[in-house]
């Protein structure tokens, strides 16, 4: 497969994540009131419209708007550059790694769009057991989490090219 086609497919994955993320957030904002919760599976899952001004799990939510915008802007740009660099450096045959990075990039861009538009991230997926709630999240967060898990699994079970370590590959120098 040509490099251009490969990057087009990977870009399509990232763009699909961004579009699904933004469409679902728009639907939630238009169809629900802030803090409204609609049970989907009783005592397990609800759609709950919240806005998270902080990072994961609400970290930095109490910081000033100016600090959060600068902090999240700089860290987002750094993360996007790092992910782009990793994506370009992955071997062409490494589809699992490339798809994982494409999903992570799409999720990061989806949440960055929220931060730029609203100064906070729209969350609405609420998983809980009785009164024990996992922090609400969204499609972008899901893509990031799934991408990271697949990347960890992929790298943990990646087979190393052992041909470089064999004596035949590197004859002793005289």
Which of the following is catalytic: 21, 114, 123, 126? Answer: 123
DSSP H helices in the chain: 3-31, 65-89, 95-118, 139-157
Residues pairing with 132 in the sheet: 129
For residue 103, give the 3-state DSSP assignment: helix
> Is 123 considered catalytic here?
yes
The length of the chain, given as a count of residues: 174
Which of the following is catalytic: 21, 114, 126, 141? Answer: 141
Biggest alpha carbon–alpha carbon distance for the chain:
77
- Catalogue the active-site residues: 123, 141
């Amino acid at each position: 497969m040509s490099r251009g086609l490969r990057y087009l497919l990977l870009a399509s994955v990232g763009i699909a994540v961004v579009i699904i993320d933004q469409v679902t957030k728009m639907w939630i904002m238009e169809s629900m009131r802030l803090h409204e919760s609609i049970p989907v599976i009783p005592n397990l899952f609800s759609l709950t419209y919240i806005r998270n001004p902080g990072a994961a799990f609400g970290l930095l939510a109490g910081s000033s708007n100016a600090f959060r915008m600068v902090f999240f802007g700089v860290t987002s740009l750094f993360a996007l550059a790092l992910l782009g660099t990793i994506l370009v450096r992955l071997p062409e045959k490494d589809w699992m790694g490339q798809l994982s990075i494409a999903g992570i990039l799409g999720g990061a861009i989806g949440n960055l769009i929220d931060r730029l538009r609203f100064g906070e991230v729209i969350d609405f997926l609420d998983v809980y057991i009785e009164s024990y709630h996992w922090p609400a999240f969204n499609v972008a967060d899901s893509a990031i989490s799934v991408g990271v898990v697949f990347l960890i699994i992929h790298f943990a079970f990646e087979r190393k090219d052992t041909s470089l370590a064999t004596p035949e590959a590197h004859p002793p120098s005289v």
